[in-house]
Amino acid sequence: MTIDTRTANGVTILDIHGKITIGEGSAEIRKTVRDLLQAGRKNILLNMGDVSYVDSSGIGELVSSYTTVTNQGGDLKLLNLTKKLQELLAITKLLTVFDSYDDEAEALASFA
């Protein structure tokens, strides 16, 4: 799994590629989110469009990251959920927790 970081309108966008699974994938997200928070970047958008698979550990890491960001007064939102990931979040009722968007411009506007 790799993460590309970019910024638009004061929002840090993490373009995630590959699988978010136990071990390296979830640890990479945790480290990246915590580094951003330490740098004072609290508006984070996770672009999941190129994520091929998420296991239960990956879901747990998304929830953990969301909680950490929210507790520090920030916002963490999801972009471009794949059909599988959307179904997984619906089954676990996490779609009600996360703000998710299909359009990047709309997602960025939601941080205003």
Structural domains of the chain sorted by starting position, each given as residue range(s) with its CATH number in brackets: 2-96 (3.30.750.24)
- What's the whole-model pTM score? 0.95
* Mean pLDDT, all residues of the chain: 95
Query: 19 pLDDT exceeds 90?
Result: yes
Pick the more confident residue, 112 or 32.
32
Query: What is the per-residue DSSP string for the chain?
Result: -EEEEEEETTEEEEEEEEEE-TTHHHHHHHHHHHHHHHTT--EEEEEEEEEEEE-HHHHHHHHHHHHHHHHTT-EEEEES--HHHHHHHHHTTGGGTS-EES-HHHHHHTT-
